[in-house]
Structure 1
Amino acid sequence: MKLYNLKNHSEQVNFETAIKLGLGQQQGLFFPVKIPIITPFELSDILKMDFITRSTEILSKFIDNEISKKKIYEYVKKAFSFQKPLKVSINKNISCFELFHGPTLAFKDFGARFMAQMIFSLKKENENFTILTATSGDTGAAVAHAFYKMKNIRVVILYPKGKISFLQEQLFCTLGQNITTISINGSFDDCQNLVKKAFDDKKLKKLIGLNSANSINISRLLAQICYYFEAFSLISEEQQKNLVIAVPCGNFGNLTAGLLAKSIGLPIKSFIACTNANDTVPRFLKNRQWKPKKTISTLSNAMDISQPNNWPRIEELFRRNNWNLNDLRFGSVSDKITKETIKELFKLGYTSEPHAAIAYRLLNDQLKEDEYGLFLGTAHPSKFKDTVENILKNSITLPNEIKCRIDLPLLSHNINPDFNQLKEFLLNK
């Protein structure tokens, strides 16, 4: 599999190198030179496969001969070793596609666990890696649990202090061992900028064997393509004809994966890019001016990102496919409307958390009469227990994945959004 750097097309690498580097020169994202095509005939066969076999087939089309299909199957089986996604009907035309049945109760488990398998399999016997990543809520837990206790791999996770939920924090800041967590006195964008600066420091990168686990890493992105095919396989042929998928967007990796699924032959009619008040992309799609504002805290904290890293990949996909950006549906939802929507869904018999509620709101508002809609459930409502309970005046039962960690002490360090502080920490801790 060949990939090129979006900021410097002459920099081309194979899949293994792209995984290890994370980012290319000038912090450029890697993108496939060749996007495979699945014909309608092949698609019919692929949709009949079980989730693991189908995922192996899709991933092997990208990775090609670099890793054998047999090995990909082994990695996928280990990575996706939890309950597969569920489709839950809300009404006649809308369902939630729940992606939060993994070990950290978030959709991030798919990409993080596949990436962990890839990195560990590519690592030489005594080679040491430092995985540095930033999280706005769910990535941290997924990455931490995916790499937990892996030999010679240190994981360092940055997160904005006081801006993720208590239960999100408990899930990954209580592990210890090879997992180090640092709360940053700032926003997620500050955390992400620190990660970028670390990757720009060639000496540091070499000294600690630096790698990234954000959705900028191509292995995570490819893994996420797989569940879009699962979603498609769970709906009727009639519903497949006019399928619209609403995606809660933070760093825009999830939407990128969906658009890649469409690119290779999954006939999804349309996507809705759903954001909260941090609406850089909706405003850009309206007036074609990229003007990020200061990130503000909302109920849907995993989407509190003003400078989404994956957006250049989406623009590249539209350019490569000769698609029109005007065809991408979009919208943003305030906290007030998010609360009202959580209540509305509860009356319909469904308990939602803020991120999925935003996707449902925009899907419900924009869905046409002849269309069928799926909105992605990206996190279990229990991860936002206090928020949801306050809105619904109804208690939520905690799953065992969270319950077993709730009373454990936090092991996090704390620093300012200062690169020199982070660099010193990475070299000396």
Structure 2
Amino acid sequence: MKLYNLKEKKEEVSFLDAIQYGLGKKQGLFFPKYLPKFNSQVLHDLIKMDFITRSTHILSHFISDEISFTNLKKQVKLAFNFKKPTIIPVTNNISCLELFHGPTLAFKDFGARFMAQMLSYWKNKNSTMTILTATSGDTGAAVAHAFYCMNNIRVVILYPKGRISSLQEKLFCTLGKNIHTIAIDGSFDDCQCLVKQSFNDKQLKKNIGLNSANSINISRLLAQICYYFEAFALIPEKYHNKIVISIPCGNFGNLTAGLIAKSLGLPIQSFIAATNSNDTVPRFLKKGIWDPKKTISTISNAMDISQPNNWPRVEELFKRKKWNISNLISDSVSDKKTIKTLKELYKIGYISEPHAAIAYRILKKNITKENFGLFLGTAHPSKFQDTVEKALNIKLSLPESLQSRINLKNISYHMKPNFLKLKNFLLTQI
């Protein structure tokens, strides 16, 4: 598969090169040069397959010239070796697609673990690679656990100090070994900026084999396409042309993957891009002006992003498919309304967390009785224990993956958002 750089379209690379580079020249994102299209018969056959086989078929359409189907299936099985996505009915025509049954209780386990298996499969055993990534909450844990104890792969994760939940922090800041975590005095956008500066530094790229595991890495994005097909397979056939999917959006990788699934032939009627008070995209779609404001801290911290990295991919896909971007529904929800929605969901029998609650609220506002509405459950409620327990006046029981880490020491470093200090750390301290 060939991919091109959105900022330097003459730069074309293979899938292997794309996942190793992370970003192209001028910090450009890679995007598939060719987007396959499944006809109705292929789609019918795919839906009848099990999750692993179907996912392998979908991914093989992008990378079959670089890895055999047999070997790809082995890597997909290793990556997705946890409970598959589940659909839980919430109201008569709205359900939650729960994607948080992996080892770190978040949807990002799918992309991070697939990327880890791909890099492990192709990596030169004699070379060292440094994975540098930023997290607004769940990416850090997913990446850390996916790459934990892998030979010759070092992971450095930047996160905004005091702006992720304590349990999110415990999941990836207590591992040690080849996992290094740094609490940055600033926002996620500050962390993301440091990552981009690092990728623009020739010395770092040369000396430490720099790579990224954010959703900017194309392997993570492709893996996420697979669970949209799984959702489609789980929904009754009578609704197959009436599906509306609401996605809690931070860096917009999840939305990008859903839109690519639609471009492949999945007949999703429409997508909703749900955000919190960091509403750059809803304002842009309404006014046509890209005007990121200072990032606001909210109870849905994984969405506390004012400059979403994947938005150029969204625009490119709409342009390539000649879709009208003004048809994309996008809206924002305040913390006050998020808490109100958590209570509303609890009253009808579903315990949610802030991100999914935002997606549910905007979906409910924009759905008709004829539609089948699906909102994405991107993280387990217990990862936001304090917020959920306070809002609902209940006591949550913690899954074992969280309970086992709760008393472990946080071994993160602490740093101001200074690129030269980060560069020195990367060159001398890991």
Structure 1 Cα separation of the partners of residues 67 and 203 of structure 2 = 30
In the aligned structure 2, how far is the partner of 1:47 from the partner of 1:94? 21
SS at match of 1:190: helix
Q: Tell whether 2:120 aligns with 1:136.
A: no
Amino acid at match of 2:378: T
Structure 1 position 369, deviation (Å): 2.2
Q: Aligned with 1:4: secondary structure?
A: strand
CA separation in 2, counterparts of 1:53 and 1:179? 32
* Counterpart for residue 236 of structure 1: 236
Residue equivalent to 1:378: 378
Give 1:395's aligned residue: 395
Residue of structure 1 equivalent to 2:195: 195
CA distance in structure 1 between the aligned counterparts of 2:204 and 2:213, rounded to whole angstroms: 17
Question: 1:121 is matched by which residue type in structure 2?
Answer: Y
Q: Matches of 1:212 and 1:119 in 2, distance apart?
A: 11
Q: How does 1:403-422 map to 2 (within 5 A)?
A: 403-422=403-422
* Distance in 1 separating the partners of 2:107 and 2:158: 19
2-structure distance, mates of 1:63, 1:276: 35
Question: Are 1:101 and 2:101 matched, yes or no?
Answer: yes
Q: Which residue of 2 aligns with 1:167?
A: 167
- CA shift, 1:203, in A, is 1.3
Kindly indicate whether residue 142 of structure 2 is the aligned counterpart of residue 145 of structure 1.
Answer: no
Q: What is the alpha-carbon distance in structure 2 between the residues aligned to residue 66 and residue 120 of structure 1? A: 14
- How far off is 1:332 after superposition? 0.3
Q: Which moved more, 1:415-424 or 1:234-243?
A: 234-243
- Percent of paired sites with the same residue: 67
Q: For residue 175 of structure 2, what is the amino acid of its counterpart?
A: L
Moved >3 Å (runs of 4+): none
Alignment partners' CA distance in 1, 2:139 and 2:324? 31
Quote the Cα distance in structure 1 between the aligned partners of 2:117 and 2:125. 15
SS of the equivalent of 2:245 reads strand
Could you tell me how far 1:64 is from its partner in structure 2? Answer: 2.5
5+ unaligned residues in a row in structure 1: which ranges? none
What is the alpha-carbon distance in structure 1 between the residues aligned to residue 361 and residue 62 of structure 2?
Answer: 34
Name the counterpart of 1:65: 65
2:71 and 2:419 map into 1 onto residues whose CA distance is 39
Which position in structure 2 is the counterpart of 1:255?
A: 255
For structure 2, the residue ranges without an aligned partner over 5 or more in a row are none
The yes-or-no answer on 1:24 pairing with 2:24 is: yes
Q: 1:353-372: per-residue Cα shift (whole Å, max 9, x none)?
A: 00000000000011022111
Q: Partner of 2:316 in structure 1? A: 316
In 2, Cα distance between the equivalents of 1:92 and 1:212?
41
* Partner SS, residue 65 of structure 1: coil
Question: What residue number does 1:118 align with?
Answer: 118
Amino acid corresponding to residue 313 of structure 1 in structure 2: R
Deviation at 1:335, TM superposition (A): 0.4
Q: In the TM superposition, what is the alpha-carbon distance from 1:202 to its structure 2 partner?
A: 1.1
Match of residue 426 from structure 1: 426
Counterpart Cα distance in 2 of 1:83 and 1:376: 16
State the distance in 1 between where 2:17 and 2:133 align.
Answer: 18
SS at match of 2:4: strand
The DSSP-based 3-state class of the residue aligned with 1:9 is strand
* Separation in structure 2 between the aligned mates of residue 3 and residue 324 of structure 1, nearest angstrom: 24
- Secondary structure of the residue aligned to 1:34 is coil
The residue identity in structure 1 corresponding to 2:156 is V
Equivalent residue for 1:209? Answer: 209
Report the equivalent of 1:353: 353
C-alpha displacement of 1:128? 0.3
Aligned residues: 429
**Partners of 2:109 and 2:125 in 1: how far apart?**
26
Counterpart for residue 184 of structure 1 = 184
Residue by residue over 1:274-311, the C-alpha shift from the partner in whole angstroms, topping out at 9 and shown as x without a partner, is 00000000000001100000000001000000000000
3-state DSSP of counterpart to 2:49: coil
Question: How large is the Cα RMSD of the aligned pairs?
Answer: 0.5
d(CA) in 1 for partners of 2:230 and 2:322?
26
Q: Structure 1 residue 364 and structure 2 residue 364: aligned?
A: yes
